[in-house]
Amino acid sequence: MLAELKERSQVTIPKSVVIELGLKTGDQFEVVTQQGEIRLVPVVVYPKAAIERLEKLAAHTESLIAAGDAQAFDTADDAVAWLHADASCTSS
């Protein structure tokens, strides 16, 4: 597929790529150049507080695994609900 650089440095992403990747208007991309190539990498931007909360949940989970106290769950939702029920890993 070919794309053309327009005025104001704009490039249209072919519709087939938009559909294949499930892209939507307003999506953000990291622009990476490597060995003469340009890559657009879709990214999701989260508020800092959300990232800190996820980091805290991950650290708590790692400590449970290290202590041999990890549990098995049938679904990811069950695992998340269990983590949220533990106030020590979700409180601010």
- Every domain of the chain and the residues it spans: 7-43, 48-90
pLDDT, residue 64, reads 86
pLDDT at 60: 87
What is the average pLDDT across 12-19?
A: 95
pLDDT digits (tens, 9 = 90+) for 26-38: 999 999 999 999 9
pTM > 0.75: yes or no: no
Q: Which of 8, 11, 6 is nearest to 39 (CA)?
A: 11
pLDDT over 80 at 92, yes or no? no
Helices marked H in the chain: 15-21, 48-66, 76-85, 87-90
Per-residue pLDDT at 91 exceeds 80: no
| Phi, psi torsion values for 46, nearest 5 degrees | -115, 150
Task: From 49, 46, 53, 45, select the one nearest 84 (Cα to Cα).
Answer: 53
Q: Which CATH number is correct for 7-43, 3.30.70, 2.40.10, 2.10.260, 3.40.50?
A: 2.10.260
Q: Once rounded to an integer, what is the mean pLDDT over residues 49-74?
A: 88
